[in-house]
Amino acid sequence: MPSDLHTHTTCSDGVFSPEELLEAAKAAGLSYIAITDHDTVDGICQLYESGLYPAKGIKVIPGIEFSAHHEVSQIHILGYNMDMYNRELQDKLNDVVEGRWTRFSSMIKKLQDLGYTIKEADVLKIAGDSTAISRSHIAQTLVRMGVFSSVKEAFDVVLEKGRPAYVGHYRMSPTEIIDLIKRCGGTPVLAHPKLVGDDELVEEMLRSGIEGIEAYYPRHDEEDTKRYLAMADKYHLMVTGGSDFHGIATRFPEKLGIFTIDDNLASSLYKEPEI
Ligand SMILES: [Zn+2]
Ligand SMILES: [Zn+2]
């Protein structure tokens, strides 16, 4: 049976609600699934509070995906099995969410100053339930308004770092994130190392307290996977993998179950939930 250790729901930028995701995972015949929304554990909390976690018919692993602060590279760190009601975790996540709102308002203000007629409410309509309001929501709004022909163009012209409506945001450093995950009883794993874009930095991360590496990932080719498996071996780290499923029709994988990993890679992360 296959498993998937990296998925998103409506609690961040995914299309499926946590409930829908579990149903889709069962329909796809998955044994283990981890929910790893950006900067939030709300999905698991929602399931827990509605009596759907622990789930019947599928083994759910609680997770999160943090974006770390770095000058040039994109470093994402997955955390599995943290105590989701830990006070320090909740406080930190609140800081991140608050930072996102402040950033959002400043970007809208900049766009208005540039002469675009965009309003916060327009973007909120598109963002729906998401607490992880992001530049891609703003870009989608601008496309819908007919200002740009694609999300990419919106980024290139106004939203990308260095462009006129860009605003930086509050993020923890990689070591702060790793330490926080561990203090909350969780396991930190480096997400999609290829997307870090710099293998030297990847190795530096692997030496800084990370406990696993996401060697299996849709955008890794065979060579990449081999190289990251060798790194896992070298630093005695756990190997994980996942599809980074968002439920977006144009983004691979369009469906759960198309990109999976062996159960034995997922089973070591599974903990029988305490009820
Ligand atoms: Zn990521
Ligand atoms: Zn992701």
Quick one: pLDDT at residue 229?
Answer: 98
Is residue 148 situated within a structural domain?
yes
Beta-carbon contacts of 86 under 8 Å, excluding residues fewer than 6 positions away, are 183, 184, 185
pTM of the predicted model as reported, rounded to 2 decimal places: 0.88
Is residue 244 situated within a structural domain?
no
- Residue range(s) defining the domain that contains residue 104: 92-159
Q: Report the distance separating Cα 206 and Cα 190, nearest Å.
A: 8
Ligand 2 centroid to 37 CA: how many Å? Answer: 7
pLDDT category, 132, cuts 50, 70, 90? confident
Q: What is the mean pLDDT of residues 65-94?
A: 94
Q: Report the distance separating Cα 145 and Cα 116, nearest Å.
A: 10
Q: What is the mean pLDDT of residues 27-32?
A: 97
Rounded percentage of the chain residues whose pLDDT exceeds 90: 84
Q: Report the distance separating Cα 146 and Cα 188, nearest Å.
A: 41
Ligand 1 centroid to 123 CA: how many Å? Answer: 22
Ligand 2 centroid to 11 CA: how many Å? Answer: 12
The enclosing domain of 135 has a CATH number of 1.10.150.650
Ligand 1 centroid to 68 CA: how many Å? Answer: 10
* Helical residues (DSSP H) of the chain, grouped into ranges: 18-27, 42-49, 87-113, 120-127, 135-144, 151-154, 174-183, 199-206, 222-234, 263-267
Quick one: pLDDT at residue 130?
Answer: 73
Quick one: pLDDT at residue 133?
Answer: 84
Is residue 107 situated within a structural domain?
yes
Residue 73: count of CB within 10 angstroms of its CB = 14
Ligand 1 centroid to 244 CA: how many Å? Answer: 7
Is residue 213 situated within a structural domain?
no
Measured in degrees and rounded to the nearest 5, phi and psi for residue 162 equal 95, -15
Rounded percentage of the chain residues whose pLDDT exceeds 70: 99
Ligand 2 centroid to 190 CA: how many Å? Answer: 11
Report, in this order, helix, strand and coil percent for the chain, each rounded to 5.
Answer: 40, 15, 45
pLDDT category, 67, cuts 50, 70, 90? very high
Is residue 190 situated within a structural domain?
no
Ligand approaching nearest to the C-alpha of 244 = 2
Quick one: pLDDT at residue 30?
Answer: 98
- The pLDDT tens digits for 162-217 are 999 999 888 899 999 999 999 999 999 999 999 999 999 999 999 999 999 999 99
∠ at Cα 38 (83, 78), nearest 5°? 60
The closest of 112, 132, 115 to 124, measured between CA atoms, is 132
- Domains held by the chain: number: 1
Ligand 2 centroid to 7 CA: how many Å? Answer: 6
Q: Which residues pair with 66 in a beta bridge?
A: 77
